[in-house]
Amino acid sequence: MQKPRIRWHIAVFLAPAVLVYTAVMIFPLFNTLRLSLFSKVDQERVYVGLQNFQTLFGDPVWSEQFWNALGNNFWFFLIHMLVQNPIGIALAAILSHPRLRFAALYRSAIFIPTILSFVIVGFAWKLILSPIWGIAPGMLDAVGLKSLFAPWLGKEEYALTTLALISVWQFVGIPMMLIYAALLSIPEEVLEAGEIDGITGMSAFWKIKLPLILPSIGIISILTFVGNFNAFDLIYAAQGALAGPDFSTDILGTFMYRTFFGFQLQLGDPHMGSAIAGAMFAIILVGVCIYLFGIQTRMRRYQL
C-alpha cells in the first residue's frame, strides 16, 4: 500500500469554480441574510436583531406592501401553473406524435419568444395592447368583439393577469421542450403494448404517457416556482419599478428592488432590502424542500 500523497491537481481543478462560486454566490447570499439583521442609525451600521423583520411584518405600511406583493406573486405563479404548463404539455404531446411533418419547424418557432429579452417582450405587448395604437382593439373589432377591449395593462383588476399571461406566452417553450424530451424517451414497445390492449389516441396519452412523464412535470413545476418567485424583469420593463397601476402588479422582485434601491422620493434601504431577500429565500427554500422531500421522493418512477 502506497502512502497517500496529496493530489494537488484535484485542488487545481476544483479551485477556480469553487472560489468564484463561493465568493460571488454563496458568501453574498449569507451576507445578505446577515445584513437583514442590521440597520443604519446615524450613518453607522448597528445590529438590530429581528427588528427589520418586525417592521416588514408588523408595520402596516410595510406589511401591506409585502402581503400585496406576496399575494400577487402567488397569483402570478398560479397562472403559470394553470396556463403555461398545460399548454406546454399539450404542444409537446402533439409535437411528439410520430410522423408529424414540420415538427422541427413548429418547435423552433414556438420557442422564439423564450429567447427574447423581457424588455422587448414587455414593450412589444405594451404597444399591441395600447389603446392608442390599437392593434388589439382593431383585431377584436374585426371579429365583432370590440366591446370586450379594455386597456388591460392600465386597469388594476386586469394588469397582473395580463402580465402573467404575457410571461406565459414568453416561456411556454420551456415546459414544451422538457416534456417533449420526456415523451420521446418513452419506448415504442410500451405504446404498442397499449395499442394491442386497445388503448390509443387520447386515452393512450392519459393512461400511459402522462403517468410516465409525471417526474418531468414535477421538475417543471419547481422550475416555474423558483423562476416566478424571483421574477422582476418583465414587470419592471412593462410597468416600471412602481409596478403600477397602484402597485397592483407588484411582486416580490419589484418590491425588493424598490426597497433596496430606492425610487423617486423613497431612499434606498439595503437592510430592509436584505430582509425582503431573506423572506424570498425562505419562500423559495420551503418550495424547493416541499418538492424534494414531499413530491419527488413519493413520485413513482418507472424503469423504462
- Within residues 212-251, the interface with another protein by CB under 8 A covers 216, 219, 222, 226, 230, 232-233, 236-237
Helix (H, G, I), strand (E, B) or coil at 40: strand
Does residue number 82 form part of the binding site for another protein (CB under 8 A)? no
In sequence order, which residues have a C-beta less than 8 Å from that of residue 272 and are 6 or more positions away? 52, 55, 56, 62, 259, 260
C-beta of 18 vs 78, nearer to another protein = 18
> Contact region for another protein (CB under 8 A) — 56-64, 67-75, 78-86, 179-187?
179-187
Residue of the chain from 78, 82, 128, 290 that contacts another protein (CB under 8 A): 128
113 binds another protein (CB under 8 A): yes
**Least distance between another protein and beta carbon 248 (Å):** 21
Q: Which of 37, 124, 190, 242 binds another protein (CB under 8 A)?
A: 124
Alpha-carbon span 176 to 89, nearest angstrom: 6
User: Which set of grid coordinates corresponds to residue 134?
Assistant: 390599437
User: Using CB atoms within 10 A of its CB, is residue 124 exposed (0-12), middle (13-18) or buried (19+)?
Assistant: middle
- Minimum CB separation of residue 99 from another protein in Å reads 6
Q: Among 68, 114, 161, 296, which residue sits at the site for another protein (rule: CB under 8 A)?
A: 114
Examine residue 195 and tell whether it contacts another protein (CB under 8 A): yes
The residue type found at 102 is: F
- d(Cα 78, Cα 73) in Å, to the nearest integer? 9
If binding means CB under 8 A, how many residues of this protein chain bind another protein?
95
The DSSP bridge pattern shows strands 262-263 and 44-47 to be unpaired
> Considering the rule CB under 8 A, would residue 46 count as an interface residue with another protein?
no
Place of cell 419547481: 222
Question: What 3-state class would DSSP assign to 212?
Answer: helix
What is the x/- site pattern for another protein, positions 130-169, by CB under 8 A?
---xxx--x------------------------------x
Work out which of 181, 193, 286, 299 binds another protein, going by CB under 8 A: 181
User: Does residue number 193 form part of the binding site for another protein (CB under 8 A)?
Assistant: no
- Cα–Cα distance, 268 to 264 (Å, whole number): 10
